Amino acid sequence: MTADDILTFYETIADRLDSLTAADAGEVPALVALLGGPTGRVLDIGAGAGRFTFALAAAGWQVTAIDFSPAMLAVAEARAQALGLAQRTAFVQCDLRRTRALPHGPYDAAIMIGVLYHIHEPDEQRRLIGLIAQALKPGGRLFFDVETSALGGWRREQPGVPVAGLGPGLEIAVVGFEDTRRGHHKARLSLKRTRDGETAERQVEIDCAWHDVKEMAELLRGHGLSLDGVHRGWGGKEADGVLLVAEKCP
């Protein structure tokens, strides 16, 4: 597995991420409702094509969306224009594993959905949580989801069977799994993309990290964030993922 495999994956599917997350559509209104009001500045970490970015901007938030994939950011920026939400949104390229700073805050809230399982190394996770804590105002809240067992993520897909509903010209199928080390498993995916009549096929290895909620609470506490809420089955889906809500201590 290399970081490039994860980037290659998201670069390849940038215009189809919404199809991939369509089954989780309930997450968007659920998260907007949990953030509630009053609105303010929110950081959307690993924003992808912007499904949360635009729902929050439409609800009155000023959103800074960050992602490491240029293709993802291009899709999101085009949507911001098309939706008339460019004034309420800003897009910044940033690799969460390497960055030493997040876009300048302070923020009233931060969200990070479908991202932490890509941040594998404990020191990368610690540094990222520390940067998020620094970026929040006192009393600011962080909403993020984690997988809580090796049964989550790509393991929910049946090996060899293409993921349904991605539309023409894109085929993704799991071709293998490997339990690598504690809290990690690796999914090998076959990616087939057809553009202008040409089909490119490649395999990528996606290492997925899963987390223990108690350990996560300790990590948060170490950075001045208290874990205030654990939402299982959030957005109405049955899954091993949970949504955690943490607050920066005043």
- What is the nearest approach in angstroms of ligand SAM to the Cβ of residue 138? 25
Helix (H) or strand (E) holding 207: strand 198-209
The residue within the footprint of ligand SAM, chosen from 56, 57, 63, 115 (CB under 6 A), is 115
Q: Exposure string (b/e) for 123-162, b if CB count within 10 Å is 16 or more?
A: eebebbbebbbebbeeebbbbbbbbbebebbbbebeeeee
**C-alpha angle with apex 243: 242 to 248, nearest 5 degrees?**
135
Smaller CB separation from ligand SAM, 97 or 126: 97
Q: How far is CA 110 from CA 15, 65, 107, 133, 149, in A?
A: 24, 10, 7, 9, 24
The yes or no reply on residue 97 touching ligand SAM (CB under 6 A) is yes
Smaller CB separation from ligand SAM, 52 or 210: 52
* Spatial distance between the Cα atoms of 232 and 143, rounded to a whole number of angstroms: 13
- What is the nearest approach in angstroms of ligand SAM to the Cβ of residue 114? 3
Chain positions 46 to 75 lying near ligand SAM, rule: CB under 6 A, are 46-48, 51-52, 67-69, 72
- What is the nearest approach in angstroms of ligand SAM to the Cβ of residue 128? 9
The residue within the footprint of ligand SAM, chosen from 1, 15, 19, 21 (CB under 6 A), is 21
* Spatial distance between the Cα atoms of 185 and 207, rounded to a whole number of angstroms: 6
Bridge partner list, 41: 62
Grouping H, G, I as helix, E, B as strand and the rest as coil, residue 210 is coil
The yes or no reply on residue 121 touching ligand SAM (CB under 6 A) is no
Single-letter code of the amino acid located at 193: R
Contact 132/142 with Cβ under 8 angstroms?
yes
The yes or no reply on residue 126 touching ligand SAM (CB under 6 A) is no
- What is the nearest approach in angstroms of ligand SAM to the Cβ of residue 95? 5
Binding map of ligand SAM across residues 136-165, x = CB under 6 A, - = no contact: ------------------------------
Smaller CB separation from ligand SAM, 29 or 139: 29
Residue nearest to ligand SAM (CB): 48
Bridge partner list, 186: 178, 207
Stretch in the footprint of ligand SAM (CB under 6 A) among 44-52, 187-195, 206-214, 228-236:
44-52
Residues that bind ligand SAM (CB under 6 A): 6, 10, 21, 46-48, 51-52, 67-69, 72, 94-97, 113-115, 118
